[in-house]
Structure 1
């Protein structure tokens, strides 16, 4: 069993090939960008804002996907393979030893599916934080909000481009930092 490191949380946001409507025959969602921001648990400081472009293996980036993410097929053609990107997470971020977080369960489920389908070792350990649910619970909301809606709820501007993994991970890490900080201030009372 891998040692669990609790010094940093890896905040991850992925973008994947997508279509407006039904998936074209013969194509499957592929991760095309992995955004990573490290969140220091002790200080709640964000660092390491990075986007790893991933070359899709079972689909292509179409017009709808480009409109949503700004990424084109040409952008991702020079990216890492999915296996290389997962290896980067393990070696450079020690992702298998750290808690990781994302906005909702889609990212976790897409990693699980794609790893299983392509025979790639899952890059993360067993500890995942669903920041979307946590945010909604802490703020006593009647329903979960999308990431942009949560930022609006806080009166905070979105930093960067929405639906770019590198920027969304940064924004999610900022909200998670607030949640961790709020928890600490109540512990001290």
Structure 2
């Protein structure tokens, strides 16, 4: 089945992390999937939300909470399983039929690792846009700039809280929209 090219799904994940090496026996788990849709024709950004995910192979460290503002209590109260989150992506965002984008390769690799480890199907189709690389190429930077730095270069204010998937997805959509229209 061909891709639906009206909108691009923008993804930004936050995952469990530690200051230094992971604690013994812990694997990095996605704890938030930030998502929105970028309308290719109009540049409108819609359906922006953060899906909180309960970690299955690790816990949220104080360092992780400091970085992301996501607490163990938040995911315990409002989080869903990773499997359920992938189902939401497939059903509500048509993630296997649409092109999707993230800032860098981390999000793609984290999804691949976690799907493989847990034994569930990858929720996305094969067409992935690496906005970080595309931005560097478009601007002839010679290096890949971080998301906040890319926004600064474009003189676009950072919306929300950096390292919150819901806000970073929206900010990435603004960068990709600029790339597509300049």
Aligned to 1:144: 144
Aligned to 1:25: 24
1:119-138 correspondence runs (5 A): 119-138=119-138
TM-score under structure 2 length normalisation: 0.98
Deviation of the 1:4 alpha carbon:
1.2
Aligned to 1:100: 100
Taking the aligned partners of 1:91 and 1:155, their CA distance within structure 2 comes to 35
Q: Secondary structure at the match of 1:121?
A: coil
CA RMSD between the two structures: 0.7
Question: How many residues are matched?
Answer: 181
Aligned to 2:179: 179
Please state if 1:73 is matched with 2:72.
Answer: yes
Deviation of the 1:99 alpha carbon:
0.2
Taking the aligned partners of 1:3 and 1:175, their CA distance within structure 2 comes to 25
1:36-115 correspondence runs (5 A): 36-78=35-77, 79-115=79-115
Taking the aligned partners of 2:108 and 2:165, their CA distance within structure 1 comes to 14
Q: 4+ residue runs of structure 1 moved beyond 2 angstroms?
A: none
Taking the aligned partners of 1:87 and 1:106, their CA distance within structure 2 comes to 21
Aligned to 1:153: 153
What is the CA deviation profile of residues 129-150 of structure 1, one whole-angstrom value per residue up to 9, with x for unaligned ones? 0000000100110210110111
> Which runs of 5 or more structure 1 residues have no equivalent in the other structure?
183-189
Taking the aligned partners of 1:99 and 1:10, their CA distance within structure 2 comes to 6
